[in-house]
Amino acid sequence: MPTLYNRIQGRNLDRLAALSDGIFAFAMTLLVLDLRLPSAAQVHGERELLAALAALGPQWITYAMSFLTLGIFWAGQQTQLNHLAEGTRDLTWIHLGFLFAVTVLPLSTRLLAEFITYRAALGIYWLNILVLGTMLYWSWMYAARNRLIKADTPEEVSHSICRRILIAQAWYAGGAALCFIHPWISIAAIVLVQLNYVLAPRLWWKKPRL
Amino acid sequence: MPTLYNRIQGRNLDRLAALSDGIFAFAMTLLVLDLRLPSAAQVHGERELLAALAALGPQWITYAMSFLTLGIFWAGQQTQLNHLAEGTRDLTWIHLGFLFAVTVLPLSTRLLAEFITYRAALGIYWLNILVLGTMLYWSWMYAARNRLIKADTPEEVSHSICRRILIAQAWYAGGAALCFIHPWISIAAIVLVQLNYVLAPRLWWKKPRL
Amino acid sequence: MPTLYNRIQGRNLDRLAALSDGIFAFAMTLLVLDLRLPSAAQVHGERELLAALAALGPQWITYAMSFLTLGIFWAGQQTQLNHLAEGTRDLTWIHLGFLFAVTVLPLSTRLLAEFITYRAALGIYWLNILVLGTMLYWSWMYAARNRLIKADTPEEVSHSICRRILIAQAWYAGGAALCFIHPWISIAAIVLVQLNYVLAPRLWWKKPRL
Amino acid sequence: MPTLYNRIQGRNLDRLAALSDGIFAFAMTLLVLDLRLPSAAQVHGERELLAALAALGPQWITYAMSFLTLGIFWAGQQTQLNHLAEGTRDLTWIHLGFLFAVTVLPLSTRLLAEFITYRAALGIYWLNILVLGTMLYWSWMYAARNRLIKADTPEEVSHSICRRILIAQAWYAGGAALCFIHPWISIAAIVLVQLNYVLAPRLWWKKPRL
């Protein structure tokens, strides 16, 4: 009897997509809630205000980095779901695990902003990215094994989705390892990896016309 | 005249699903807002940071438990709505009652995290789960009585949805009753019941290919 | 040229519905954020915890009342949008005005919970409900005048939507006026009006089978 | 291989719309969270409550202004997406940049409410509006260059979308420049520009029947 129930559960990919969009939207907006602005009592004059805002620099960097992280994984999950024909109960739970890691990211970000010179904070942030990547990889492996992928998806697409995750995670791991030199170098490396995925392809070849 | 108005109200199940996804997404992300991180002023060195994070353990357990709870009931509501052909005004209000209990869950979680050794806090948390289950059961009973279920839904699906809720609630009630021994045992039992619904089927039989 | 731009704007009712669902979902979940729980330092023993929770009673009543308000207006807006064939720029802005009043409701609720014996707080809360009703009424009048209503909508549906809003607002105004006797009587009256719209029809006639 | 991956990414405009609706809905609701209400301990009597609420006036103006800003840009983005046939990876990132600016707006608003007489606060708020307009303009230019616009979109629609953004941004820049006379004049000018886009067309010609 649970077999039957489990068979009818989680087949609606549209609702999984809607829940994901809601969680990503909230996590992205939540990041900004943690930025502490100077209060009017502490500031006297235009210059002091600009100086107080400039002092928030490290907070802004971690915030922008986390927005990039969420954007990259949102786009990655979307690409996967676009190629799936239907869902199953297990796939739903793999994605709920993925979404759990998404809801934790604002917390890892806050930790990193508070302890930006601590290797432990950076390690936890990287762990969060690792879990996001692992769940997405698992999701695609599971979908491939259970024939949930749309029939018209070429084999190379499937390969490129897997390779993309593995290569990105290798870069992130390398960037995180640099924290043994200094956490700032590590953060700079992770942001560079992210900007590569967001912008760099423009520099090397012409965008394909779709 | 209200008869007519009531007849035209609440027929759009898509919007009910969208509202539900929004509320679940928000409640899931909200849980993490209550986790209090150590502040930089209190912590001196990498080890102290890890120790301070480890001390948040009980908070994490209630947080993860509530994420599981929300995930289980989100999947359960989704399964029901997938099998309904259309909505009515009354069905809408049953689900709004269900969603009310969803919005209360972050509060019950916060209460449980703050008073984790109090039977009253655990009792309220269990009551919250009970209301969630009751509303879902009521929703299905109502839909069956008013012929809102899709014509192609086999009888056994209807039975399995009801039985699933009753069995799960029996397990939760049993787990909650263990708080008379000790609240921690009770929490462990509830988490085990949840993990059973999330993971356990993998252990006993091969997943059906859909 | 703005004529052309204004003509192509705001035609997508699906996105208006999605934005509305998001705002209602957040506003409903936000209400609970304002409930202040007792802290562990103040409470010693199970009984004190229950007593502290019972002391939150007035907060809970305003919270539940606001959830009912949001549920009623969400259902009302949904019913309207279901009967519209397409949107216009002006209709979009009428609904954005409606959504503005929705985002203000958590604030009115907080004000009422803090100043539950003040007529001014109750007056502002009622004003909020009045604006919600006015915008919905305006939206339907506008849609009727500009032939945005679906062709298959019978005349009586249109009448029942208008009459429903007017009668409900008359009840709310009457309830709010009772605050000149005592704010608590007024709150009780408003909750009764709301419960009438949520539950009462069950008492007087059999629900129509749809 | 990244070429292939980039080609399959970001084609789902529905999910981009859903993420946008979630972020706009949250940002709109978030604004109200920052309004600080008087507490019961400070207020004695109905009149003091009304006086305390009236003292919140400047907060309300910045709040209402930001809701208008978000409403205008939500409607603008919707109009664009309605005319696009499909998305690409790059278009997705242009819109994620736009959404980043949306999540920052509640923060700019809070800054402006706290430092309402500072030119620097007003300058940052205007910068935020400028980024929103720039991303939307870039998005349309990109879509036109890459033939993503629906085939049935007349040339004049494309022109009116571009001109609309440029003229609005010119008005905003002019309004912001008035802060060198006084920030209040500048805020009044920006609100007037916004109200023009929300309401004014009604005054000059009859609304087109769609």
Q: What is the pLDDT along chain B (210 residues), one digit of tens a residue?
A: 446 777 777 778 889 999 999 999 999 998 887 777 888 888 888 888 998 888 887 788 888 899 999 999 999 999 899 899 888 888 999 999 999 999 999 999 988 888 888 899 999 999 999 999 999 999 999 999 998 998 888 888 888 889 989 999 999 999 999 988 888 899 899 988 888 888 755 544 444 443
Q: How far is C40 from chain B (nearest CA, A)?
A: 6
Tokens of C74: 């969400």
- Which tokens go with C35? 């409930």
Query: Would an 8 Å CB–CB cutoff place A22 in contact with chain C?
Result: yes
ipTM, two decimals = 0.88
Structure tokens at D76: 């603008």
| % of chain A beyond a pLDDT of 90 | 42
Give the pLDDT of residue B69. Answer: 93
- Chain A residues with CB-CB distance to D146 below 8 A: 207, 209-210
Scanning every residue of chain D, which has its alpha carbon at the shortest distance from the alpha carbon of B25?
D22
Q: Tokens representing C210? A: 């749809």
Predicted confidence at residue A3, as pLDDT, reads 61
Domain count of the fold of chain D = 1
Containing structural domain, residue D94: 2-204
- Considering only CB atoms, D79 lies closest to which of C8, C27, C93, namely C8
pLDDT digit string (tens) for C38-82?
888 888 888 889 998 888 877 888 888 999 999 999 999 999 998
C207–B147: do the CB atoms touch at under 8 Å?
A: no
Which tokens is A121 given?
A: 């904070």
Residue C118 lies inside a defined structural domain of this protein: yes
Sign of the torsion formed by the C-alpha atoms of C174, C175, C177 and C180? positive
pLDDT tens for residues C142-156?
999 998 998 888 888
Per CB-CB distance under 8 Å, the chain C contacts of B99 are 28
CA pair distance A105, A125, nearest whole angstrom: 8
Closest listed residue to residue B123, CA positions, set A66, C53, C144: C53
**Total-model pTM:** 0.90
DSSP state of A1: -
For residue D199, give how far its alpha carbon lies from the nearest alpha carbon of chain A (Å): 29
* Distance between CA atoms of residues D126 and D123, nearest Å: 5
- Name residues whose C-beta falls within 8 Å of residue A16's C-beta, 6 or more positions apart in sequence: A10, A81, A87, A92, A95
Mutate to test the interface with C, among A20, A26, A33, A103 (most CBs of C within 10 A): A26
- Is residue B42 situated within a structural domain? yes
Judged by CB atoms closer than 8 Å, whether chains meet at A3 and B208 is answered as yes
Q: Whole-angstrom Cα distance, residue D34 to residue B208?
A: 50
Residue D202, pLDDT > 60, answer: no
Residue that the structure tokens 């959404």 belong to: D99
Residue C210 lies in a domain: no
Determine the average pLDDT of the residues in A54-74.
88
User: Is B147 a member of any domain?
Assistant: yes
Is D71 in contact with C96 (Cβ distance < 8 A)? yes
Query: Which residue in D has a C-alpha nearest to residue C114's C-alpha?
Result: D40
Residue A210 lies in a domain: no
Q: What's D182's DSSP letter?
A: -
Question: What 3 state SS string does chain B have?
Answer: CHHHHHHHCCCCHHHHHHHHHHHHHHHHHHHHHCCCCCCCCCCCCHHHHHHHHHCCHHHHHHHHHHHHHHHHHHHHHHHHHHCECCCCHHHHHHHHHHHHHHHHHHHHHHHHHHCCCCHHHHHHHHHHHHHHHHHHHHHHHHHHHCCCECCCCCHHHHHHHHHHHHHHHHHHHHHHHHHHCCHHHHHHHHHHHHHHHHCCHHHHCCCCCC
Asked if the structure places residue D141 within a domain, the reply is yes
pLDDT tens for D126-179 read: 999 999 999 999 999 999 999 899 888 888 888 888 998 999 999 999 999 998
Contact B89 C75 (CB under 8 A): yes
pLDDT of residue D1: 40
Q: Name the token pair of C4.
A: 């052309």
Most A CBs within 10 A among C14, C15, C20, C26, hence the mutation to make, goes to C26
Tokens of A36: 């502490």
Q: Does A19 touch chain B (CB under 8 A)?
A: yes
Residue keyed to tokens 């509320």: B23
Contact with chain B for residue D25, Cβ under 8 A: yes
Most distant CA pair in chain B, distance: 71
Summarised one tens digit per residue, pLDDT across range C123-142 is: 999 999 999 999 999 999 99
Whether residue D62 lies inside any domain: the answer is yes
Percent of chain C with pLDDT over 70: 93
Per-residue pLDDT reduced to its tens digit, B117-155: 889 999 999 999 999 999 999 999 999 999 899 888 888
CB pairs under 8 A between A and D: 115
- In a domain? residue A209: no
